[in-house]
Structure 1
Amino acid sequence: MSKHGTIRRYTLIIEKIGRKQYPSFGLIKDYLFEHGFEVSTRTIQRDIEQIRFEFGIEIKYDRNRNGYFIDTESSINPDSFFRFLEIVNTAELLTESLKESKDTLDYISFESHGDLRGVENLKPLLFAIKTHRKIAFTHENFDTGKQRKYTVRPYLLKEYQNRWYLIGIIGGTTEFRTFGVDRIFNLKVKDEIFKPEEKINPAGLFEHTVGLTYSFNKLEEVILSFTPLQAKYVRSLPLHKSQELIVENEKEVQIKLRIIPNFEFKQKIMMLGDSVEVLKPKWLIDEIKESLTAALKKYH
């Protein structure tokens, strides 16, 4: 069985268990068979063990419900794992389609223009993070247009809007910095090993954010009002995992978020134009008003 096939089995197992219906082992096996995988009981047991061992996703058995479930509280970064499965399975679909027909790409339109600058850095960066090795590189700042050399203790790779970012600590400082991987040049993985701070959880920094900025505001309640049409899109693709429906009628749909409002979140709100209204907090309402007024003035 190819690695793609194994990942596909993992996906189906997660898909079946993740529906919160507490399927029995037999139902999981039947679900795999329905999707073209006729495998032994031992193979499924091994898959569940590997999902736990390789990815930190805790699949447990509930005796009261006689079925399996995903213990998200005990799992390590479940959202990242689900996103990983999505990427891998999409890649497999495209790979298999290309094998069947070379003109497959004629029927697919990608959002970007294929700028993969910096993608070659992902493998050495991941190696440095896993082995706790310091790295050195030159980074370009988009705001100033200047390039600067850094020595960094790398902790995390983060994806946002089809771009990759490195999260690390510079020199003798203790605060995390974010670097666009596409703007990293002359990367060198050093032999020097560093000891990661045990109390630091870099992934946790972004738990309450949309995007990359986490340190400029405080965690608070945000309430948004959407037109019924726009609400359909927001409900199918939530702005944040804390999203909660609080009002729904013929005129509007209100949702509540528990986040740190930041630059990226404000950008998303601005992109939705008159199909959304910020109801809370007041300071965010004022900032959106100010930005919209400034934008309007450009068209006078």
Structure 2
Amino acid sequence: MPKNKHAAIRYKIIDKMLTSTSKPYPSKEDILDKLRNDLKDSISERTLQEDLSAMRFDEGLGFNAPIRYSRKYGGYYYEDSKYSIAKLPISSNDREALDMAALILKQYDSLPIFSEFSNVVTKLQTVLDGVVSDSIEARRQMIQFEESPNYKGLDLIQPLLRAVEQQYRIDFTYQGFLSAEKRHEDLEPLLLKEWRQMWYVIGRYNNGSSTKSYPFALDRITNLEVKESEGFTFPYDFNARDHYAHAYGIYRMDGKPERVKLRIFSKTIRGILRNNPFHASQKITKEGEDYMDIELSVFPTPDLEGDILRFCPEIQVLSPKTLSDNIAKRIQDGLSRMSNNQ
């Protein structure tokens, strides 16, 4: 299977050169020059050899390309002159995978950017056999995805994504949940992030040496303006994966992540957390007959506190003490409010 995002493009370029009647028998150097010029990348000779081998033998790709080398002409060609990867038929497995992709994308129809992808898949299905597969509707009765309500702000995803891609500054009005006043924001957008069916734009202010980024909920944004006349340089020190590697939820705190140690008592919850960890950093450190200890390397955020509370009273915070105290206070506050109803 293709090992990177450019592999499929390279296969198409190679295929086009091998089917060319105006310049038949392209040499290794000819193909490398074409790949490097078209992709603006330093494609190695080894990569080309791997691509040719994959086109010939990779069962996952299924091309089975009859590529041969002509010593007489010093170049590559297709033994079957009518062959092209563009003419390959779609197998039943390919069609089933396409139907499944369409089914998954349909649940995001309310998001303009994803509905466009869904439309592309539908067009492909229609071109392939003239009709949209009936199996999609049938499977919708067999598979039920968690439904995403049509949250306010989803229409902002597309212009915000364009702003991130093109490195345009954005201007908007924002009102946080805890604020009675609206405020004006001028931001360099770096990332769009979803957390539990809510979308956020992560960005930085242009205030000199500060490298701190802030999340803004899309449903709290109004009067968005993508300032195409005001670009910015994407910060070299920002990497989305690294930035959120130790975050729990949408907020990333300053400083270093903490070692959060938890003890789980319920056998059922132990099973749940083995298969569905709190966080990617989770590891089991100790197991007894009636408990399991786990450790996370995260920032102790309110989101983490909320998830720990979900499993009370079958969970204990061993450390840090500040997290344990926060959990205890929230439980006490809840009990106090409940007692007021009696």
Partner of 2:154: 119
**Structure-2 separation of matches of 1:138 and 1:266:** 30
Structure 1 residues 144 and 244: alpha-carbon distance in aligned structure 2, compared to 1, 3 A threshold: same
The answer to whether 1:38 aligns with 2:62 is: yes
Query: Which residue of 2 is the match for residue 168 of structure 1?
Result: 203
After TM superposition, the score normalised by the length of structure 1 is: 0.66
User: Structure 1 residues 237, 98: closer, same or farther in 2, change over 3 A?
Assistant: farther
Q: For the pair shown, which has the larger CA radius of gyration, 1 or 2? A: 2
1:133 to 2:168 alignment: yes
Structure-to-structure mapping, 1:196-275, within 5 angstroms: 196-215=234-253, 218-226=256-264, 227-275=266-314
Identity %: 25
Q: 2:222 aligns with which of 185, 195, 201?
A: 185
Give the equivalent residue in structure 2 for 1:144. 179
Runs of 4+, deviation exceeding 3 Å: 37-42, 87-90, 92-99, 101-113, 200-203
Q: Deviation per CA, 1:223-279, whole angstroms, max 9, x where unpaired?
A: 111122101111111111111111223201111111111111111111222121111
The one-letter amino acid of 1:38's match is G
Q: Which runs of 5+ in 2 are unaligned?
A: 9-53, 67-99, 108-117, 123-131
After superposition, give the CA deviation of every residue in 1:179-216 in whole Å (9 maximum; x if it has no partner). Answer: 01222222221121112232333542321111122225
Flag the 1:180–1:198 CA change in 2: closer, same or farther, 3 A: same
- Superposed displacement of residue 149, structure 1: 2.1
The 1:113–1:153 alpha-carbon spacing in structure 2 relative to 1, beyond 3 Å, is: closer
Q: Which has the higher strand share?
A: 1
Aligned residue pairs total 229
Structure 1 residues 110 and 262: alpha-carbon distance in aligned structure 2, compared to 1, 3 A threshold: same
Give the deviation of 1:90 after TM superposition: 6.5
CA 123–288 in structure 1, closer or farther in 2 if over 3 Å, else same: same
Contact 1:154-1:166 at 8 Å conserved across structures: yes
**Cα deviation code 1:70-97 (max 9, x no counterpart):** xxxxxxxxxxxxxxxxx96872587799
Instruction: For residues 109-135 of structure 1, give each alpha carbon's deviation from its aligned partner in whole angstroms, at most 9, with x where no partner exists.
Output: 554562242222112111111111111
Cα pair 2:103 2:140 within 8 Å, conserved: no
- Higher RCO (CA-CA < 8 Å; seq separation 6+): 1
Structure 1: runs of 5+ lacking an equivalent: 1-5, 10-24, 43-86
